[in-house]
A and B are shown apart, each in its own frame.
Chain A
């Protein structure tokens, strides 16, 4: 009787942990998406030191979620054996976590390269920033990232690593994850079907977005497409030998 009750308790605890991990995964996805939106502003005319600071904060937040999630997922994987109901979900979360880490690492690499090209240390560096037509972009997205809540208490008090260290750390993390745990990637079935994301709601607003993107084509009588005025030129590029 006791054993049965303990195992029920165990199952419930594990379910709670799994749902915690799922929430953390969703939070991580949100943070990474916000980070990506902010990095697209880097190097453009909306770039500023405050944007850089916000990037740092978002990166720290992501780091915290990553380490916590990694630890918990590993513990769950050790606990559950093959064949139990939660195992599939944990494996799925593991693979999604791996994807998130890869995507985040790519963004971090880009950020470190962009920081080298556009250091904002001197005033004259601002002249080098590319005029992209954007006006704002940093603060709103950062605010969205900041309100992401982690489902567990952070009493960890870890040091936040600097950019390069972070990239290398994620590198090591991914390698370790791929080596230690033997979960074949193709065994994970996605829960979403193809084309499922295309749904009806939220489209009226976006119609205007598409309409705004349509700029009138400069009316030119002879040139439908083509780089030169030759009648047979179908290439849209300079590598046209008919010139």
Chain B
């Protein structure tokens, strides 16, 4: 069902990349789980205590030989995408250091020692504005990017990684601690850093750092001697340096780990999504496979039906305006986004077997027939309406055809049998009313059934339902009733303490087996087809 065909054609203008695993693009704005970066890195490190390794594990060798025990099924995805900008940012930072045309620095005086090379936020923004000839707002965004990636760190309020365009003080990070696309910040180093801070002063670690320390101790248990040893040695090596240098180094280290192991409830610029199979910086080799792929793509592009850009853009605008209030990126979802506040009322209210749906869901059903069918609650409602009108066979046929299309290949022939007997045979109990030509084609195709044998009939039925039954449904008392009864949850307004409590009381999710069982029960309950003949026979009998 390509309902966005008009603007999809306008968007498919670039040939596909050869990566076999193409995930949807996760923008940096993705409101992912707050500790996603920390969790992801810790889950990929070796973490088995005394006991046997998991079945099927082997020690994994690849370019950067880490002592990790990865399961075989990681598909070789080791490249971090979307960080090619780091090279450009490095060039920018190096230009900032030019003694003649770079940013002016001054000294930070503190307790009879002075540490040089401090720069003010307004100087940075002014320099970017003049050097790259952009306006002030963009310069500030660029500056904040520099801080968020960790090339410059703030001295006051180190945990907030933004560039304040006033007198706030910043300093450049040493190149050793610059972020690189090729490697991530390692857990072992983080453990050494936490141990070093422990050595410096007992009880200085924050709550979340203590949590992480405990987890790392559990997962990196076999390396723990090494970690403590290195922490002690690095502290001793650091003591050989001058006092001001030690202060600078501790600033640098702290800034590095705030970027790469962000505190909870903060967004991290290093959050980049899934690891990739192919090095995104490597140029693709232009061999025959590559050219064949490009040729096929271009041929398909020529064959596509062309749409005027005004039309496709108009469709895009209309789509955006309709769905704007339903998009969790653009409008905060009610009652609250579970990924942000750790409160899963939103999911509970939108379960498929809930009694009363939310007003947003009900509104969404009126946008199009496919929306109604897509939402399981909407489909249940539509089924109820059809039951009242005694025309449930259309929807039942559509569902059966969907099941055939998406089900297991081994079950195709028997499903086709049942469908034919129930819906298509002359005198069948739930005979659907499609035109003769389609009926003929379908019956002929059913002799050698394949996945798409019912496509023509399914589309016909879909159009029938959409053009006729759908509008009657929208005007029916069933729909109006549920519109009135739908709940509109009030937005949550959590304080910080409540947010922390939510994070601690996070419930584990539903097991997939439980959801599967529920779905099966639902299916059994709702697909008891109304046998029209038997119904009429019953009525006649009673009379």
Which residues on the A side are within 8 Å of B234 (C-beta)?
A: 33, 36-37
Tell me if B425 is interfacial: C-beta within 8 Å of chain A: no
1/0 per position for B28-54, CB-CB distance to A under 8 A?
Answer: 110000000000000000101111010
A185 to B167, CA, bound (A): 51
1/0 per position for B119-160, CB-CB distance to A under 8 A?
Answer: 000000000000000000000010011001000000111011
Within B48-91, which residues are at the interface with A (CB < 8 Å)? Answer: 48-51, 53, 59, 61, 64-67, 69, 90
Stretch among A12-20, A75-83, A132-140 lining the B interface: A132-140
Tell me if A96 is interfacial: C-beta within 8 Å of chain B: yes
| A132, B173: Cβ atoms closer than 8 Å | yes
| A33, B230: Cβ atoms closer than 8 Å | yes
Tell me if A42 is interfacial: C-beta within 8 Å of chain B: yes
Q: Could you say which of A105, A175, A187, A200 contacts B50, with CB atoms under 8 Å apart?
A: A187
Which residues on the B side are within 8 Å of A135 (C-beta)?
A: 116, 242, 244-245
| A197, B251: Cβ atoms closer than 8 Å | no
| A41, B174: Cβ atoms closer than 8 Å | yes
Which residues on the A side are within 8 Å of B183 (C-beta)?
A: 106, 109
Tell me if A217 is interfacial: C-beta within 8 Å of chain B: yes
1/0 per position for A168-183, CB-CB distance to B under 8 A?
Answer: 0001001100100000
| B111, A212: Cβ atoms closer than 8 Å | yes
Tell me if B441 is interfacial: C-beta within 8 Å of chain A: no
Within A70-105, which residues are at the interface with B (CB < 8 Å)? Answer: 92, 95-96, 98-100, 102-103, 105
| B50, A130: Cβ atoms closer than 8 Å | no
Q: Which of A99, A113, A144 has the most CB of B within 10 A?
A: A99
A131 to B94, CA, bound (A): 10
A45 to B266, CA, bound (A): 32
| B144, A238: Cβ atoms closer than 8 Å | yes
Tell me if B446 is interfacial: C-beta within 8 Å of chain A: no
Tell me if B292 is interfacial: C-beta within 8 Å of chain A: no
A191 to B82, CA, bound (A): 42
Stretch among A61-69, A149-157, A202-210 lining the B interface: A202-210
Which residues on the B side are within 8 Å of A186 (C-beta)?
A: 46, 48-51, 53, 221-222
Q: Could you say which of B110, B202, B254, B267 contacts A199, with CB atoms under 8 Å apart?
A: B202
| A133, B67: Cβ atoms closer than 8 Å | no
Which residues on the A side are within 8 Å of B533 (C-beta)?
A: none
Q: Could you say which of A117, A134, A187 contacts B249, with CB atoms under 8 Å apart?
A: A134
Which residues on the A side are within 8 Å of B148 (C-beta)?
A: 237-238
Query: Nearest Cβ in chain A — how far from B186, in angstroms?
Result: 7
Tell me if B10 is interfacial: C-beta within 8 Å of chain A: no
| A194, B217: Cβ atoms closer than 8 Å | yes
1/0 per position for B282-302, CB-CB distance to A under 8 A?
Answer: 000000000000000000000
| B242, A236: Cβ atoms closer than 8 Å | no
| A213, B202: Cβ atoms closer than 8 Å | no
| B233, A30: Cβ atoms closer than 8 Å | yes
Tell me if A163 is interfacial: C-beta within 8 Å of chain B: no
Which residues on the A side are within 8 Å of B237 (C-beta)?
A: 30, 33-34, 36-37, 141, 144-145
1/0 per position for B217-260, CB-CB distance to A under 8 A?
Answer: 10001111110111111101110111111111111101000000
Tell me if B354 is interfacial: C-beta within 8 Å of chain A: no
Tally of contact residues, A, Cβ under 8 A: 90
Q: Given A127-B99, A238-B148, A239-B29, check contact A197 B231 (CB 8 Å).
A: yes
Query: Nearest Cβ in chain B — how far from A94, in angstroms?
Result: 11
Q: Which of A26, A106, A132, A202 has the most CB of B within 10 A?
A: A132
| A32, B65: Cβ atoms closer than 8 Å | no
Q: Which of A133, A199, A234 has the most CB of B within 10 A?
A: A133
Tell me if B169 is interfacial: C-beta within 8 Å of chain A: yes
A37 to B249, CA, bound (A): 9
Which residues on the A side are within 8 Å of B9 (C-beta)?
A: none
| A203, B156: Cβ atoms closer than 8 Å | no
Q: Given A194-B214, A195-B198, A239-B29, check contact A217 B225 (CB 8 Å).
A: no
Q: Given A99-B188, A215-B155, A238-B145, check contact A132 B172 (CB 8 Å).
A: yes
| A218, B240: Cβ atoms closer than 8 Å | no
Tell me if A162 is interfacial: C-beta within 8 Å of chain B: no
A236 to B160, CA, bound (A): 5
| B201, A237: Cβ atoms closer than 8 Å | no
Which residues on the A side are within 8 Å of B245 (C-beta)?
A: 134-137
| A40, B177: Cβ atoms closer than 8 Å | yes
Q: Which of B69, B182, B195 has the most CB of A within 10 A?
A: B195
Q: Given A96-B226, A128-B94, A238-B145, check contact A42 B175 (CB 8 Å).
A: yes
Which residues on the B side are within 8 Å of A128 (C-beta)?
A: 94, 97
Which residues on the A side are within 8 Å of B242 (C-beta)?
A: 135-137, 140
Residues of chain A at the chain B interface (Cβ within 8 Å): 26, 29-30, 32-34, 36-37, 39-45, 92, 95-96, 98-100, 102-103, 105-106, 109-110, 113-114, 117-118, 127-137, 140-141, 143-145, 171, 174-175, 178, 184-192, 194-200, 202-203, 206-207, 209-213, 215-218, 225-227, 234-239, 241
What are 12 A-B pairs at a CB distance below 8 A? A40-B174, A133-B116, A133-B171, A171-B65, A178-B61, A178-B67, A186-B48, A187-B50, A189-B50, A200-B202, A212-B110, A235-B266
Closest 10 CB pairs of A and B: A43-B175, A33-B233, A190-B224, A236-B160, A131-B117, A99-B226, A198-B202, A238-B144, A198-B198, A133-B117
